[in-house]
Amino acid sequence: MPKIIVNAFLTLDGVMQAPGGPDEDRESGFLHGGWQAPYADDVMGRLVTQGFADADAFLLGRKTYDIFANYWPKITDPDNAIATALNSRPKYVVSRGLDRVAWNNASLIKGDVVAELRKLREQPGQTLQTWGSTDLLQTLLQCDLIDEYRLFIFPLVLGTGKRLFGTGTVPAALKPVESVTSSKGATYLRLERSGKPAYGQMGA
């Protein structure tokens, strides 16, 4: 059964909207697009590439699908590991508005999204990965369907923008698996689910 793995670029206050460029996502008047670029370095690049490498398939929301499908098919260099993974492997697109998806090996999920995702988890494979897809992530969080987080956390706060953890998030404990700090102060955290939160009294 494949694990659902969430990959996300986050500010310190949890914003994940438009890290890649000014025009990536201006929804709700967001003016901070491209906030990730000043922190790019070889460490983050290596970790992102490794993340794509072990994906059996990708799970994408409609907006992220549009962004990816308009860019990655144009990258045909066989030595580009990210392009190779995205262009060749299965992609499941969750959308109420799309009628069809044309990208190679992409298929559309409509109707009862949660039921369809549970069917995907019954198929062979190791990992089903999300990148971006903030709205889709809220469904995954509310239905407790996430097995692992791979979070790239950058040292800035923005105050506005779409955030990873919304109000419907189900409480969960997480187990740290890996932590890496880049030369420019970004932190990569890999966390696996570890049951429910435990509670106690400090100083007892």
In the chain, where the domains are located: 3-193
Total Cβ atoms within 10 A of residue 156:
16
The answer, as to whether pTM is greater than 0.75, is: yes
Banded model confidence at residue 204, pLDDT cuts 50, 70, 90: low
- The candidate with the shortest Cα–Cα distance to 35, out of 55, 13, 52, 50, is 13
Q: What's the CATH architecture for 3-193? A: 3-Layer(aba) Sandwich (3.40)
Sign of the four-CA dihedral 47, 48, 50, 55 = positive
pLDDT tens track for 105-138: 999 998 888 898 888 888 887 899 999 999 999 9
- Structure tokens that stand for 84 in this block: 């190779």
| Residue pointed to by tokens 């995205």 | 86
Is residue 162 within 8 Å of residue 8, measured between CB atoms? Answer: no
